[in-house]
Chain A
């Protein structure tokens, strides 16, 4: 919403400066977005009279102008062809900075003639790009006056943001009312007394709705004015409209635009001679068309309110007028419309046909239902003033809907909710100055809501009105003290896990990324077809059209982007939600990551290797450990879902059904789809699947039992089938003597060479830890024999000799 300072002061009797007004507007909730003061910096530029313009003695294209600045008479050398004796121009004295080019003006001799100042062009003044000649001011421009005032640039434009509840401030009058309430002056009354009509309107009005849709247009006021003379509107009106960015068109059209912004009262003027019969308002017929003022044609249906005559629809009610019935320079008889249109239908129509008009903007927020007739009177007066003519009597169909309501403001409520003591007299004064009718009934304030405040419905709204006008700044801050003197832990287990997973993975060298929660359905299909429910109806691009079934799609895409930027060693992770369905319990928290390329940077020592599945396995394991998974019960299984390499992937499971994590190489098919080359490994940890530790109270740890007796290490190498999982062998060995064996580790695996096909050698180290006395050779041999027997039994392998 834009207006100028002078425009505001048409409604507000006030001496307030622009600064005061701007500060107050923001303080009462009408946030100032911009103030444009075109006169800023133009003070030194004044009106000067060219006493004589004569040719420059030494230059063909220059003239020497003797100018009267009002305080002195001096010579200025000028290159403009239109400089002539007797004109009035814009004089810039020596020492001023020219706005158009930033140059500081100096006294100078130009081709031998002293020049003391300059006559300026529009471009030099920064008004426009015009530089063919100097500005020629009207003959009656007073010499010596600041040019900004003479040219009408001295009226600063203020733009404020209007929140959707404040439709009353979509007119300058409403803004002035708020400022007056805030103590910045007095609201000037409007001249709404009826303009007498000299005859009965030849155009009648009618509302044609059934009872169900009557709210589409509850009221329509019309007036016929004959014998108008349309033409350009006067300068003051054009200046106002231009100042707020509107293009002046003609007096009749400019009048409607002016009243729309002045009083938040949209109007429409029909060329009455184009109308056929009376005017009525109804819902459109299916397929009916309107040629609108924006040069577009719209095909309508029964959801749309139209203003029509006997020949059909003329205009979209509350949204836009029609081209054929619009006013032109030749228009001599007009029919003015002031109506009420239903906000919901108006908004829907505007959205549907993507028409943003100033009328729609106001109707969809709700206009003052009691101001329809007043608006018509003001419009009539203005048309007669600007265009002459002879007004008819007003014709009215329908009436304002019932808007009257009264709200009780209990004593103490402003303090209890608003946190500030406002004296009762002040509360009353504020409400009354905003237009509320206030009565005291048994100690409570009864506030009658004015018709222009459709946003005020309850006591809290009144508290807001009082506090915002009284000033939020005045509300004393009260500390929000914690009920516990020492703050208690607030995070839930799941929240702790999310944090721990992030910090452990970053600690392991992976970069945390945040990627979109949606992804490309092309990639998502590798994770099984996403449910149709999970597709977005209005995706921002076709690449982000479905909720992600896994974090991996976006992580892989992020990996690809980094490869394309020249990164070779990439390690990324994300902790976030995946979506198996649309219900809250189908959203799962997952920590997933990928590593690609060499595991470490190239190093002069020659060390280093590419990432492999065991890196991803280690990451997954580290997360599980960090989030408190019951590690003793976790089993490693070969294989993972279809998006993994079937032979180079695994999972960590809890029992037969619960998968805690997956890891491995990505399926080559998907990598190919993304155009990423190996080596690349990934992991996914399903944080929600990790059970909470049960029945554990406190953080006491079990007693530490260690023995100082020397441990004994024995190594074994077994020949087993290639498909025997190492874990089976390790478990078998460990189970051979649960009292003595404390650790079994794999230290060598090899196939080929002297070994038969289908066989591999697995070497393990077994540590025996006695607790009572040092082991004898015989005892050690006995345990070793048990290890060999257990392994052979479990795996069918043999001890290598």
Chain B
């Protein structure tokens, strides 16, 4: 009885999961499996962004920094220090992400609105230029790549097929959704929503807004860093333009914003729309204007959503039950 009730409440989620599980076997195409995996990775990064950007409405453009920290730490430890397993590198990667989140967060959270946005962009730029400058260690603007790796090894995160990565990405996405749900239901989530509604009112009630925002930022940074570790071992190389660019930050944030800020399924929906759009147009329209066509559509999609559906694509499904009533809402800062 309880199970049927649960199933009725979450039918959409169950259907989606079932679809995800059979997808790589039905499709049986390396390319389309890779696109779906990309969707999961970006949805996970969108979830991480959503904690600070969606629930707290602190539009951070520093995400790429944390993804790059995870990616660089793990690949450098693997390549330069005799193949240290990515599962071990997760610890230093997350530690460094926490450190950077504090360094970036302390000054930035003293600012509001557009000042905050510009300050996070400035920090990302500084970090990227430093990565390029210290080329002896980081490989400069060319980055670092793995030596040729063969065979399947879970310990070293290398597989000949893309399917295991597909399931790792899916699992990681579900974990991030779980973490976001947990935050949403607990004190941090309530504090963040209070700050997002009215920071001064929240502070007058005794919420220390900078500490709450910093905590959320640190959690977000840790999740981004871990995604960076997984992502780089799938991709096989790291360079500043792929990982540490402003473009990457924008793509991560857009996933959450288009899908629906402050909604735990928002980033997943956003990633399902934007990533295939970009990937497929890159694949099929690459000869049209040097690959610009997909990005034009992407830009137009952002414009249209901001103008007509500021609560994101997920607000189209407001009548569909996702098992919990809509949270967040109004697009105010």
Do A and B truly interact? no
